[in-house]
Amino acid sequence: MYCESQVAHIYFGDVEHIRPKAEGKYPHLEFEWTNLGYCCARCNNAKKDQFDETCPVVDPYSEDPGTHLLAFGTTVRHKAGSERGAITIATTDLNRPELIERRAIRLTQLQNALDACYRTSSEAIRATLLAALKEEGAADKEFSMFAAALINANQPDGAL
């Protein structure tokens, strides 16, 4: 829910408590559905029991992360003035080296696919490939925020 990694092919994934269940925090929300998320262990371990009601981490289940965060190359940046974006990045360690490396691999794959789209002389093939690429920016895809940013930046009109 934070780093956009596909974790299910490696392990079952963690249940994230957006508001920590720790004693003295929000133990009454331990089983509250709206307080739970699907998370990788790295993000979960980085966040631990951190949560600030006055500046909560972005909850991608109930709000658009794009309001606070943007993909810039292989790093996540907070939108200008967004303290919630900044605290989300810091709390979940969203620019850790392993993620930057994985995002770079993903972007290179997409760049190669984009090249195939634009180098073909067939309009029909181009349209088919672009339609398939558009799906790579869907929210359920790995690093979708980064994929969408690259794909949209390569469109003549700025967006698919």
Binding residues for Zn ion (CB under 5 A): 2-3, 40, 43
Smallest gap from residue 114 Cβ to Zn ion (A): 26
- Of 76 and 114, nearer to Zn ion (C-beta) is 76
Smallest gap from residue 5 Cβ to Zn ion (A): 5
Contact 150, 110 (CB under 8 A): yes
DSSP letter string, 124-158:
HHHHHHHHHHHHTTSTTSTTHHHHHHHHHHTSTTS
Strand partners, 146: none
- Of 43 and 70, nearer to Zn ion (C-beta) is 43
Measured CA distances, 78 to 72, 75, 89, 139, 149 (Å) = 10, 10, 8, 18, 15
- Of 92 and 117, nearer to Zn ion (C-beta) is 92
Instruction: Enumerate helices (H) and strands (E) in the chain, giving the number of each.
Output: 5, 4
Smallest gap from residue 16 Cβ to Zn ion (A): 9
Smallest gap from residue 45 Cβ to Zn ion (A): 10
- Determine the residue type at 36: L
